Structures are given as structure tokens and as C-alpha cells.
Structure 1
């Protein structure tokens, strides 16, 4: 096993680009190799050792045998773990744009907050964010219509707008709250949100699953109520509890499944009997 540790010496007002510094490329590098490397910053390159002290310990015969550790405030370091296929990356602090973007394998863990486009177009592996993430997590990139297609993203904090946009596979689990339009344009995969959702989850979704355990502020009119389901199973995973089930988005002839916690969204129900804890009926959407 090989450990490559980056200890931050100073930050840059212009973001450093780490798309070349992934386990696939540097698994055989020595400290001398890093001393000669110049990192892209804007339209120029500067020695990486101007910004980090780099320590290499152990040996590796493949990217899978590398653990890359970044210590410091990396909120001006972009593309950490971008396109990696194996190995492990640990960021002990915040990170900038495109963390884990297009990764196909391995593990990226960020012990802080991350900027936009985390895990965009991800194909495999695991991205775990201990803080919050901004918009377009697990989404497509500008001009593209395929977002995350495989792997797993876990966000322990809150997620920004359009989380899982154009999702075509894999799973995103947000343990906190989520902003507007989670799962917009999704065609496959699963988004699970433990907290509250601002509004409009699943807009224009064609297929896939969205499970919301918190309160939903507003739903789009393109979702058709199906009734109450108990302990539903989606793609082999059981979600304990009772949920109001919707199908949609019918504006696109969508057949996606949207489940929202029945207790926390009971105001959407016409009747709630406290004595036996039963729902009698589902009413039409309220005027929002």
C-alpha cells in the first residue's frame, strides 16, 4: 500500500487543477517526481511544491494500492479524484468544483463542504461528503443529457439545487435537506433524501425512484397520486414506514416513482384517524 500525503503550505486565489493528479496517473510517482511537477493554475503552471509539502510512503503496483491524502483548506483545488478508476482519496477540509467527477471506481471522502458539480457524470465508485454540497451534484455537465450512471454518492449535510439532474443510474443519498428540482430529467437510479425538500422534486423525470423522508414544500402537477404504501421495496431495497406514492412526471409520460413520508406530509391527506393511525383517503393536490 502506498500513501501520498499533501500538506498544504499556502492557498491560491485562482484554483489549482488536480485532474492530472489522480491515483491512475501518480501511483508510481516518487517525491522527486512531484518536485518536478507543475500544476495548472489558470492558463499557467506552477510547481506543486509551492503549495503542498508532499510525502510518499510505501509502494504500489496499481492505482488500487494508493491512498491520497490532502490536508488543508482545498476550497481552491478543483477536479480532486476526477476520472479516477481505483484507489482512495481523502480530503481533510473543503474542496472546490468537480470532486469525483466522471470517476468510475475507488473511494473519495471529503471531510468538509464541496462546491458544485460533485460526482457529475460519475460511473462507479463511492463519493462521500461529510458536509454540504452545492448545486448539480451527480448531475450532467453543461450541454450534456446524461448525469451520474453508476456508483454511490452520500451527502451527510445538505444538497443544492438540481441534485441528480439527468440521473441515469446509481444512488444518491442526502442525509440533510435538498433544494429545488432534485432528480429533474432523471431516467433511472435512486435519490433518497432524509431531510426536507424545498420544492419540485422529480420534475420531468421519466423513470427511477425518489424517496423523501422529510417534508416536501411543493410538488409539480405532473405527479399522479397512487395511495399509501407501507414498507415499499424499490430495486431490491426496502424503505420502512408509510409513504404517499406518486407516479410521474406525466408531462413526459413518465413512469417514475416518488415516495414522500406520509406522517410528515399528512396535510396532503383528506382524512387522518388518530385512533387507529390509518389514512382513509388521498385528496387531490392543494392549490399551491
Structure 2
């Protein structure tokens, strides 16, 4: 196992972009080579060592056994784990936009909060955020129609509006509350929200499954109440309690499933 430790030594209010800081790109590099890895500072290219102290423990022959641990104030560091395919990244701070965007494999852990577009268009892997996340988590990017299509997102806190916009596949688990329009334009996949939803989950959804274990402020009229089921099996797991199944959104000729627990 090879562990690459990055400790921030210089904070920048202008965002740093970490596209090149990935296990698959650094697992076979030595300390000097990692220090010279280029990151973007606004529109400038600078070596990683300008902002981070680098240390290495152990070694490995493949990216699967490479771990990157990032410490410091990272709330202005964007694209952590962007397009990641292997290995593990641990960020011990709040992080900026696009963490885990387009990732296809590996495991990212954020021990803090995340800005918008976390897990955007991801196709595989696991993104776990221990705090809160702002809007468009697991969604498509602005102007696109393909959202998350694989992998798993786990959010221990709350999420903002339009969770999983245009979601195609994969799984999302929210331990806290969710703002408006969770699962909007959803065409597949599974979302579970253990807290409350402000209103309008599943707007314009065509397929897929949303489970809400808390309360819902308001449902859209495009959902038809089907039946009440005790301890239903959903997504291969039994959910304890009484749930009501709704189907829709009929406004989009949808056949999605929206399960809401009676509390």
C-alpha cells in the first residue's frame, strides 16, 4: 500500500484545481515527481509543491493500492477526484465544486462539507461525504442531460436542491434532509432519503425509485397513489414500516416509483 500525504502549506482564495491529483496518475511517481505535478491556480499552471507539502509512506505496483490523504483548508480546492478510476482519496476538510465528478471507480471520502455538483455524471466507484452537500449532487452538468449512471453516493448530512438531476443509474443514500426536486428528470437508479424532503420529489421522472423515510412537504400532482405496503422489499432490501407507493410523473409519461414512509 502506498500512501501519498498532501498537507496544505499555503492557502489561496483563488481556487486550485486537482484534476491531476489522482491515484492512477501518481501511484508510480516518486516524491519529487509528485511535487512537480501541475495543478491549476485560476488560469495559471503551478507545481503542487507551491501549495502542498508532500510525503510518501510505502509503495505499490498499481493504482488500486494507492491512497491520497489531503489535509488543510480545502474549501477552495475544486475537482478533487475528478475522473478518478482507482484507489482512494481522503479529504480531511470541506471541499469546493465537483468532488468526485465523472469518477468511474475507487473510493472518495470527504470528512467535511462539499459544494455543488458532487458526484456529477459519475459512472462508478463510491463517493462518501460526512457533512452536507449543496445543489446538483449526482446530477448532469448545466446544459447536459446525462446525470449519474453508476456507482454509489453516500451523504451523511443534508443535500440541496435538484439532487440527481437526470440520474440514469446507480445508488444515492442521504442520511439527512433534502431540498426541492430530488430526482428531477430521473430515468433510472435508486435514491433513499432518510430525512425530510422540502417538496416536489421526482418531478418529471420517467423511471427509477425514490424512497423517503421522513416527511414530504408537498407532492406534485403527477403522482398517483397506488397502495400501502408494510415492510416492502425495495431495491433488494426490506424497509421496516408502512410505506405508500406512488407512480409518476404522469406529466412526463413516467413510471417511476416513489415510496413514502408513514411517520
Into which bin does the TM-score normalised by the smaller protein fall?
over 0.9
Counterpart for residue 252 of structure 1:
252
Whole-angstrom CA distance in 1 between matches of 2:159 and 2:176? 7
1:151 counterpart SS class: strand
Structure 2 match to 1:191: 191
SS where residue 25 of structure 1 aligns?
helix
**CA offsets per residue over residues 218-260 of structure 1, 9 Å max, x none?**
1100000112111122232222211121000001111100011
- What is the rounded CA distance, in whole Å, between the counterparts of 2:229 and 2:250 in structure 1? 20
**Cα deviation per residue 1:9-32 (whole Å; 9 max; x = unaligned)?**
121111111011111111111111
Larger radius of gyration: 1
Partner in structure 2 of residue 281 of structure 1: none
SS at match of 2:183: coil
Question: Which residue is 2:124 aligned to?
Answer: 124
Stretches of structure 1 that go unaligned for 5 or more consecutive residues are 264-288
1:62 corresponding residue in structure 2: 62
Separation in 1, partners of 2:25, 2:255:
42
Counterpart for residue 22 of structure 1: 22
Instruction: Count residues with an aligned counterpart.
Output: 263
Task: Kindly state the Cα deviation for residue 35 of structure 1 after the two structures are TM-superposed.
Answer: 2.8
Task: Spell out structure 1 runs of 4+ moving beyond 2 A.
Answer: 34-38
In structure 2, C-alpha distance between the alignment counterparts of 1:63 and 1:92, rounded to whole Å: 21
Question: Matched residue of 1:162: which SS?
Answer: coil
Listed as ranges, the matches of 1:88-237 within 5 Å are 88-237=88-237
Q: Any idea what SS the aligned residue of 1:210 has?
A: strand
Shift of 1:111: 0.4
Q: TM-score, normalised by structure 1?
A: 0.89
Which position in structure 2 is the counterpart of 1:75? Answer: 75
Per-residue deviation, 1:49: 1.3
Structure 2 distance, partners of 1:56, 1:42, is: 27
Structure 1 residues 69-110: Cα deviation after superposition (integer angstroms, max 9, x where no partner): 001111111111111111000011111111111111110000
| Cα deviation code 1:148-183 (max 9, x no counterpart) | 111110000000100111111111010000000000
Instruction: State how 1:1-40 maps to structure 2 within 5 Å.
Output: 1-40=1-40
Equivalent residue, structure 1, for 2:262: 262
More displaced 10-residue stretch of structure 1: 41-50 or 106-115: 41-50
Q: Distance in 1 between matches of 2:75 and 2:242?
A: 40
Alpha-carbon displacement from aligned partner over 1:177-201 (angstroms, at most 9, x marks no partner)? 0000000000111110010000100
Counterparts of 2:82 and 2:6, CA distance in 1: 17
Q: Secondary structure at the match of 1:85?
A: coil
CA contact (8 A) 2:19 2:39 kept: no
- Which runs of 5 or more structure 2 residues have no equivalent in the other structure? none
Normalising by structure 2, what TM-score? Answer: 0.98
Which residue of the partner structure matches residue 272 of structure 1?
none
